[in-house]
Amino acid sequence: MRLMHDQAHTKPNPRLPAMHWFQHPPEGLTLFLVLLTKRCQWARCIGCSLPRLGVEEPIGFGDLFQQTDYVFRYLLSPAQKTQLTKIILSNNGSVFDERTLSTTALLYFVAQMNLHCPNIKVLSLETRAEHVELDELLVLERAIHEGPTPTALEIAIGFEAFDSTLRNQVFKKGLSLETFEKLTAMLAAHGFSLKCYFMLKPVPNLSDEAAIGDIHEAIRYLDQIARRESVVVNMHLNPTYVAVGSELAAHFEAGTYRPPTLLDTCRAVLPARDTAVSVFVGLNDEGLAVPGGSFLRPEEAELVEPIERFNETQDFSILERIVG
Domain CATH for 20: 3.20.20.70
- The secondary structure of 112-155 as a DSSP string is HHHHH-TT--EEEEE--GGG--HHHHHHHHHHHTTSSS--EEEE
Collapse the DSSP code of 88 into the 3-class scheme (helix H, G, I; strand E, B; otherwise coil) and give the result.
strand
| Dihedral (CA of 88, 93, 98, 102) sign | negative
Cα-trace Rg, the chain? 19
pTM over 0.75: yes
Provide, rounded to the nearest whole percent, the portion of the chain with pLDDT above 90.
83
The pLDDT of 275-286, averaged and rounded, is 94
Confidence of residue 3 (pLDDT cuts 50, 70, 90): very low
Total structural domains within the chain:
1
Q: Is 50 exceeded by the pLDDT of residue 2?
A: no
The parent domain of residue 287 ranges over: 4-323
Helix (H, G, I), strand (E, B) or coil at 279: strand
Q: What is the mean pLDDT of residues 9-21?
A: 87
Mean pLDDT of the chain: 92
